[in-house]
Structure formats: structure tokens, C-alpha cells
């Protein structure tokens, strides 16, 4: 692979990472400033522009960016495996250190900063990835696709049968008592009270009853990302132009058709599940392959340099968003949890993200990697990585 192709590949992956950091922030923002797990968002934000903006974020971003980040996680793991092999290093040893460090970072993030952490899940599933990374690219891609599609297609079919037999379930209703209690804790509670609430909120999502859903929602995307990394489809997409175009068009049309189901058909839990579990990941692949096509043009790639800078510091920027958002909304900061509209939350997202782009551009001018990436690499390799330019 020549230097130009290699450089283009790196920039494209960094742009995708930076784009996913923005998408994750859009999805996370309602949970930063409101009791999102205890409400029906369409009724909670039932006035425009909040209502329309919620629908837009739901269709464009919800359930599409964690799969994208998981895909890039698997993709990056294969790049690490190839680099370690080239240097005569043991990939399993390095990867265990890497996942252990990520797990510690995730635990600190989840229990001391924000309950919506995804790093713990990625780290734990990363250990499972070691059982698969030697497989051929096509095998990883096919197996990962089937591992995702079959369980959720079966679940979606069950949901449709429930609708057909008149047993459709209604949308989640707002639990006003719990929502009020949650708002009071985050808005007025002490740090210890907020920590207790954080742990309780984390456990609502990350418990033994949800572990299989989490596994089949995330791990298959590790395998698909790893498979595509081995197949080199994104390294030089011109060599796989027809494949990339076909996948981009199909996933765009199919994904957004499924993502709009709750708004074009009956608004029920079944349509929501199909939207999230099938539509969300398909849209993430649309983003991956559309971006890959677009960024074959070097001038367009240069325009997105600020987003690429965010992507180069992806873990640092992910944690930065949590720290800034909780300092704005929690009692030990400005304490405005529960007091802003959905629209204001979206404005916060773009203001903070623009700041992240500016800071990231400044950072990469003087440093090779971000501060959290430095810690991650240090414990992975057991020696200081290059840091300051």
C-alpha cells in the first residue's frame, strides 16, 4: 500500500470516529439533562421545536452510533494485531492489557462521572474477541452479520406477530414519581447521593437480564469491523468500488425505512424495537460506506480535518463530553438538570462539539495522541509512547 492510500485510510477512519463522537453525544445528551430512562420522550417533549428535533435525532442517530463505534473498535483491533505481528509482539498479551486498562477507565467513568458509560461493555466483550480475531475476514463478516441479524430478525418477527394478533404493547409511559426523584437527586443531591443514583441508573441497563441483548447488540459489530479490516474494503475503496456503492445504497434505503417505522406506522413498542435493533445498525453501515465513498476525494477529506482531529482523540473526547455535561447539569456544577428543553440540549451539543474540534486541532498540533490515549498505550505496551511533538 503506498503512502497516499495509507494516509487516506487513516484520515477516513479518524473522520468516522469523530463523526461517531458527535452522534453519540446527540444520543446521550437527553440522559445528561433529563430522567430519560423514566419518561416517554415523545410526550415529555410534545411541543415544537423539541418534538420535531427529538424525532430527527431518533431517526438519524439513535441506535446507530454505538454500532458504528463498535465497528471501528473491531477494525482498530485488527490494525493493532497486524502491527503487533509486524513487530514480533504478542497480540493477545497486548490486547488483554489494552482491555484491562479500558475496563478500569470505564469503571471510573461509569461510577464517578456518568452512568451511561459504554467502555465497560466494550472492554468485557473485547476479551471475548480474542477467540475470533484469527478468523479469515470473510468468515468474520458473515458470522458477525448472522450473529446480529438472526436473533433480532426473530425478535422483530415475534413483535410483528404480536401486532397481527392484536397483542401489541403500548409505548413506555412516563413514571412521574421516579422521574421527579431522579431530577431532585441530580439537581440538588450531594456527590455521594448522585453516585448512588449513578450506580442505580447504570444497573438499570447493565444487569444480568440485559446481558444477552447487550452482547448481541454490540459484539457482532466488533466481528464485522474486524472482517472488513481484514478484507481491506476501506483501505482502498477504489479496488472494491461496486461492493462499497451497493452496500452504501442498500443500507441507506433499508436503514432509514426501518428507522422511520414508528412515525410511518403505529407508534408502539414493536415498531420501536424494529427501529432500534434492525434499523439503527443498518444506518450505521450506511454512514460507514457513504463516508468511505465521499472521502475518496482529497479536497473533501481536508474540509473534515477538525472532525478527524476529534476522532484521533476519540476516547479523550468521549470522556470530556461526560465531564463537561455533568458539570453543567449536576448539583456540583450549575445544577440545571431537568430545567432545559430538548432543543437547548441540542444547542449545548453543538457548542461543546465545536469547542472540542478547536481544542482537538490545537492538541494534535503539539501532541501525537490524547491524554487518555497516552495512558491507554502506556499500560498496553508497558512503556511511554511518543507524546509531545
pLDDT of residue 3: 43
Taking the complete model, does pTM exceed 0.75, yes or no? yes
Residue range 15-29, pLDDT digits in tens: 999 999 999 999 999
Cell triple for 371? 491524554
- Out of 65-69, 160-164, 200-204, 327-331, which region has the weakest mean confidence (pLDDT)? 160-164
pLDDT of residue 172: 66
Q: What is the mean pLDDT of the segment spanning 94-115?
A: 98
- What pLDDT score was predicted for residue 167? 63
Question: Strands (DSSP E) along the chain, which ranges?
Answer: none
Three-class DSSP category at 27: helix
Mean pLDDT of 79-103: 96
Q: Could you write out the DSSP letters of every residue in 115-148?
A: TT--HHHHHHHHHHHTTTTTS-HHHHHHHHHHHH
CA distance 48 to 58: 15
- The answer to whether residue 2 scores a pLDDT higher than 50 is no
> What percent of the chain shows pLDDT beyond 90?
77
User: What pLDDT digit, counting tens, does each position of 358-383 carry?
Assistant: 999 999 999 999 999 999 999 999 99
The rounded distance, in Å, linking the Cα atoms of 42 and 275 is 15
Which pLDDT score is estimated for 270? 77
pLDDT above 70 coverage of the chain, percent: 94
SS3 content of the chain, % helix, strand, coil (to 5): 75, 0, 20
**Does residue 4 have a pLDDT over 50?**
no
Does the pLDDT of residue 66 top 80, yes or no? yes
In angstroms, the CA 133 to CA 151 distance is 22
Name which of 145-149, 152-156, 274-278, 307-311 the model is least confident about. 152-156
Confidence category of residue 153, pLDDT binned at 50, 70, 90 = confident
- DSSP class of residue 367 equals B
* Contact assessment for residue 185 and residue 194, using Cβ atoms and an 8 Å cutoff: yes
Q: Coil, strand, or helix at residue 173?
A: coil
Here the contacts of 150-153 (C-beta below 8 Å, separation 24 or greater) are 151/216, 152/216, 152/277, 152/278, 153/278
Beta carbons within 8 Å of 347's beta carbon, 6+ residues apart: none
Q: 183-198 pLDDT, tens per residue?
A: 999 999 999 999 999 9
Question: Can you give the pLDDT at residue 10?
Answer: 61
pLDDT digits (tens, 9 = 90+) for 106-148: 999 999 999 999 999 999 999 999 999 999 999 999 999 999 9
Task: Please spell the DSSP secondary structure of 204-239, one letter per residue.
Answer: HHSSTTTHHHHHHHHHHHHHHHHHHHHHTTTTSGGG
- The pLDDT of residue 1 is 38
Q: Which residue has the higher pLDDT, 267 or 241?
A: 241
The overall average pLDDT reported for the chain is 91
Mean pLDDT in residue range 267-287: 87
pLDDT band at 166 (very low <50, low <70, confident <90, very high): low
At 23 the pLDDT is: 97
Amino acid at each position: 500500500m503506498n503512502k497516499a492510500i495509507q494516509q487516506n485510510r487513516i484520515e477516513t477512519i479518524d473522520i468516522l470516529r469523530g463523526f461517531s463522537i458527535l452522534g453519540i453525544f446527540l444520543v446521550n445528551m437527553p440522559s445528561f439533562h433529563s430522567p430519560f430512562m423514566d419518561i416517554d420522550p415523545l410526550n415529555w417533549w410534545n411541543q415544537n421545536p423539541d418534538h420535531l428535533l427529538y424525532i430527527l435525532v431518533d431517526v438519524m442517530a439513535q441506535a446507530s452510533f454505538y454500532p458504528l463505534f463498535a465497528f471501528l473498535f473491531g477494525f482498530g483491533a485488527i490494525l493493532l494485531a497486524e502491527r503487533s505481528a509486524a513487530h514480533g509482539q504478542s497480540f493477545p498479551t497486548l490486547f488483554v492489557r489494552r482491555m484491562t486498562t479500558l475496563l478500569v477507565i470505564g469503571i471510573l467513568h461509569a461510577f464517578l462521572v456518568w452512568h451511561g458509560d459504554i467502555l465497560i461493555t466494550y472492554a468485557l466483550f473485547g476479551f471475548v474477541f480474542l477467540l475470533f480475531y484469527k478468523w479469515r475476514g470473510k468468515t468474520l463478516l458473515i458470522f458477525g452479520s448472522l450473529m446480529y441479524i438472526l436473533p433480532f430478525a426473530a425478535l422483530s418477527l415475534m413483535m410483528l406477530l404480536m401486532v397481527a394478533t392484536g397483542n401489541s404493547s403500548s409505548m413506555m409511559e412516563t413514571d412521574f414519581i421516579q422521574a421527579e426523584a431522579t431530577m431532585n437527586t441530580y439537581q440538588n443531591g450531594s456527590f455521594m447521593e448522585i453516585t448512588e443514583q449513578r450506580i442505580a441508573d447504570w444497573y438499570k441497563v447493565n444487569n444480568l437480564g440485559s446481558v444477552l441483548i447487550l452482547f448481541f447488540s454490540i459484539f457482532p459489530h466488533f466481528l464485522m469491523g474486524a472482517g472488513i479490516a481484514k478484507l481491506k474494503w476501506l483501505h482502498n475503496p477504489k479496488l472494491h468500488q461496486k461492493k462499497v456503492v451497493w452496500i452504501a445504497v442498500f443500507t441507506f434505503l433499508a436503514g432509514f425505512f426501518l428507522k422511520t417505522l414508528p412515525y410511518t406506522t403505529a407508534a408502539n413498542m414493536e415498531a420501536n424495537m424494529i427501529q432500534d435493533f434492525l434499523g439503527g445498525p443498518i444506518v450505521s453501515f450506511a454512514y460507514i460506506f457513504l463516508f468511505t465513498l465521499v472521502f475518496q476525494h482529497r479536497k473533501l477529506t481536508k474540509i473534515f480535518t477538525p472532525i478527524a482531529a476529534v476522532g484521533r482523540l476519540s476516547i479523550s473526547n468521549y470522556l470530556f463530553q461526560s465531564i463537561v455535561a455533568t458539570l453543567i447539569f449536576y448539583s456540583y456544577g450549575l445544577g440545571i438538570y431537568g430545567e432545559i428543553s430538548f432543543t437547548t440540549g441540542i444547542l449545548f451539543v453543538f457548542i461543546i462539539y465545536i469547542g472540542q474540534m478547536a481544542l482537538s486541532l490545537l492538541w494534535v498540533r503539539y501532541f501525537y495522541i490524547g491524554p487518555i490515549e497516552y495512558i491507554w498505550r502506556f499500560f498496553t505496551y508497558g512503556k511511554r509512547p511518543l507524546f509531545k511533538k
